[in-house]
Structure 1
Amino acid sequence: MNLYSTNNRALRVPFRKALFQSLPADQGLYMPVDVPRLPAEFWARLPTLTLPQIAFEVAHALLQDALPAEQLRRIVDDAVSFPAPVVPLSTNTYVLELFHGPSLAFKDFGARFMSRLMGYYLAQEGGRPLDVLVATSGDTGGAVALGFLGVPNVRVTILYPKGKVSPIQQQQLTTNGQNIRALEIDGTFDDCQALVKQAFADEELNQRFRLTSANSINIARLIPQAFYYVGAYAQLQRLGHREVVFSVPSGNFGNLSAGLLAWKMGLPVCQFLAATNANDTVPTFLRTGQYQPRPSVATIANAMDVGNPSNWARIADLFRDDAARLSALVTGYSYSDDETRAAMQAAFDAHGYVLCPHTAIAWRAWQQWRQAHPHESAPGVFLATAHPCKFPEVLAPGVAAQVEVPRQVQMLSHRDQYLVDLSNDYPGFKSWLLVSATA
């Protein structure tokens, strides 16, 4: 598998280099040179396949000869060891539950797959320890922490915005110890992401450390997110459906990028809904054609508090030759906190189903799109990206009482938290990295 930079299509690097480098030197994002279309034979037998079997075939088609097939199969079987069920709520409305992994968030798919790929290559080569830098607006950090916890020769540093993650999210970030370090940054997610990007571009740090990222800027985080789109379609096929509308909670837009990657591989999606909160950079672009990043705004759907989503560069690159197709395929929606709370209550009243705020935004987008397209027969699948127990302070009391808190979350409150407070200036962050390396 070879990849190029969204800033330089003439660049060619092998997958292994992109995995560890994360970002090209030109600050673009890596994209596959070839996105293969899966054969008709695959789609014909899709309903008979398990999620790990689907994941292997999708990964193998993309990664090609990046590693032996049997090794890839072992990695997939280990990483994708939990279900992603499509649950019917009403006629033609389904929820894809992506919160059954260790951190109770969809990002477990990407973090576990990537950590095992890195572990495989590190075991082959030895050499310098790997430093993983990751910015999180909520769920990424917890998934990365559990994905990499105890992986030999790897140290993980997680940056999260102070006061802008939920208490349970913070516990997931700060109670691990071992090779996981948490930095509480006095700023926004965009500030955290900017610090990580500056570090990757810093020549001194790159000479001192072997740096990589576990954010969705890393192509290895993105690829496994395509698995569950195809897995969801397999479940719909068993119910007699042949097309689908996906409503996708969207912050840094890695989730939508993965869905579009699956579509490029042949997944029959008739519409994607890019559903977000008050940080409406992308919905505004889809309406007006003007892409204008802006500072992020804090909302109750905090994992989507991103004003300048990195992965939009990937989506723009996928449709570089057909902007009209992008506008036709992807519809953007954005909602205020009040609208999000109303959606959480409405979904509970209608279905008796509890949604986290991010999932509620996706449900509301599907409802709005369906009202505007009453004759569309394709079912809607909205993605449930996190377990609602992670957001107890957002749920209405009567709704919160219906949430069963998983045991792994109950145990977090009894564990000590380890974190370092830092400002959002780069010199201070760089100094901490250099000093902590010898601590």
Structure 2
Amino acid sequence: MNYYSTNGHVQELSFKEAVLKGLPQDKGLFFPKEIPQLPDSFFEALPDLLLPQVAFQVLKPFVQPDLTEAQLQQICEDVFTFPIPLVEVEQGLYALELFHGPTCAFKDVGARFMSRCLQAFADPDKPVTVLVATSGDTGSAVANGFLGLENIDVVVLYPQGGVSEIQEVQFTTLGQNISAVAVEGTFDDCQALVKQAFSDGELNQVKNLSSANSINVARWLPQMVYYFYAWGQWKLRHPDQTGLTVSVPSGNFGNLAAGLVARQMGLPISYFIAATNRNKIVPDYLETGDYQPAPSVATIANAMDVGAPNNFPRIQHLFGNKLDALQQVVKGFWADDDQIKEIIQRVYEERDYLLDPHGAIGFLSLKKLMSGLGTQGIFLETAHPAKFKNSIEAVLGHEIAVPEQLQAFLGRQKQVTILPNDYKELALLLKQTHKEGTL
């Protein structure tokens, strides 16, 4: 499979080349040259397949010939080691729990897959520096996915004071080949700095940069897998049902873009909901046709505090930049902090199910829209509620349990470089030698 830039100004690259490059020089996004159709036999077998088996079949056409079948099989066995259960919250409405991985967030899937790909592709004589911006969970998933890998350094940029305490300790306390940089600005500022670094010819002559944000195809595409797996679990329970809507809590929109590619491959999902917080650029666009990125606004659902979503151009590209075609499949929804807090409390009291702030928006969107769409619904629970411990406890009025994966990070010493929102400062920092988790 080859990959081209959505801006169309650079030559096509192989999967390996696109992974190592991260971002095209023309500031577009890499996109697969073709989207293969999976056979009917795959969907007939899907409800009985194990997660690594689903991953192998779905990802195989996107990675060959750069990864052999044996290599891909091993990667899938190494990556998809944790459960992704479908849990019924109320009749006809399910949570897909994506928080059972090592950092308790959905990004464990893409980050772990990408780390194995880079490990397979990296040249021992040309160490790779993975540069990533995070609004919370990306940083922890990438840092832990790449921790200790030879010839790969990771630099995580995040907005100072803009992530939860537990999220921050998951990527600032690791050391080894992981560095954390707190930027005096917003997540959008961090994203802009990363993009500028990839387009800086001088920096790229001295640093072999790659990205681990969902702009990287090896981080983005594996997210398709759990949509197929979720449909298989749902189909086991409802073999005669056909209508299904999936609500995707969305910040940078890589997760939703992956689900829409899965649909293009034949996955029979009727509708998707782009569920956001007050950073409602995409829901507004779906309603008005006017796409206006804006400065991000801080909310209780901080991982979605994105005012200029990097991956939305992939979604537009997938639909030929035709708004009416997009509107037929994707519905917009947004909720403010008061609505998020209210639904967390209500679902906990009535259903004994604890939502995280992002999953709460997904749940609420299905409650508001599902009956009008005439389908059953699945929402993505993208992170464990304990990653937002202070916010959740303030809503419920009592403490919540912290899983073992997160407890392991508490009390560790942070190692952070604080940087102004200034690209020259970042470029200078990146050129310095990277040792033991410090730049």
Which category describes the TM-score, using the shorter chain as reference length? over 0.9
Q: TM-score, normalised by structure 1?
A: 0.96
CA distance in 2, matches of 1:173, 1:400: 28
What is the match of residue 159 of structure 1?
157
What is the match of residue 221 of structure 1?
219
Q: Secondary structure at the match of 1:393?
A: helix
CA distance in 1, matches of 2:145, 2:31: 23
Confirm whether residue 16 of structure 1 aligns to residue 22 of structure 2.
no
What is the match of residue 87 of structure 1?
87
Tell me if the contact between 1:134 and 1:215 (Cα under 8 Å) persists in the aligned partners.
yes
What is the match of residue 354 of structure 2?
354
Q: CA deviation at 1:9?
A: 7.4
User: Comparing 179-188 with 4-13, which one deviates more in the overlay?
Assistant: 4-13
Q: CA deviation at 1:283?
A: 0.4
What is the match of residue 410 of structure 1?
407
Q: Superposition pairs for residues 283-432 of structure 1, below 5 Å?
A: 283-320=283-320, 322-373=322-373, 376=374, 378-397=375-394, 399=396, 401=398, 403-432=400-429
CA distance in 2, matches of 1:17, 1:62: 13
Q: CA deviation at 1:396?
A: 4.1
User: Comparing 183-192 with 342-351, which one deviates more in the overlay?
Assistant: 342-351
Q: CA deviation at 1:404?
A: 2.5
Confirm whether residue 129 of structure 1 aligns to residue 130 of structure 2.
no
Q: CA deviation at 1:436?
A: 4.1
Tell me if the contact between 2:393 and 2:400 (Cα under 8 Å) persists in the aligned partners.
no
Segments of 5+ residues of structure 1 without an aligned counterpart are none
What is the match of residue 194 of structure 1?
192
Encode CA deviations 1:3-24: one digit per residue, 9 max, x unaligned: 1110007731111110010111
CA distance in 2, matches of 1:7, 1:212: 19
What is the match of residue 36 of structure 2?
36
Q: CA deviation at 1:254?
A: 0.5
Q: CA deviation at 1:90?
A: 1.4
Q: Secondary structure at the match of 1:115?
A: helix
Counterpart residue identity of residue 318, structure 2: L
Q: CA deviation at 1:435?
A: 2.9
Q: Secondary structure at the match of 1:96?
A: strand
CA distance in 1, matches of 2:397, 2:211: 35
Equivalent residue in structure 2 for 1:144, among 117, 142, 145? 142
Confirm whether residue 236 of structure 1 aligns to residue 234 of structure 2.
yes
Cα distance change on mapping 1:371 and 1:349 into 2, 3 Å: farther
Counterpart residue identity of residue 385, structure 2: P
Q: CA deviation at 1:322?
A: 4.4
Counterpart residue identity of residue 290, structure 2: Q
Q: Secondary structure at the match of 1:95?
A: strand
Encode CA deviations 1:203-233: one digit per residue, 9 max, x unaligned: 1110001000000010111111000000000
Tell me if the contact between 1:236 and 1:242 (Cα under 8 Å) persists in the aligned partners.
no
Aligned residues: 434
RMSD: 1.5
Segments of 5+ residues of structure 2 without an aligned counterpart are none
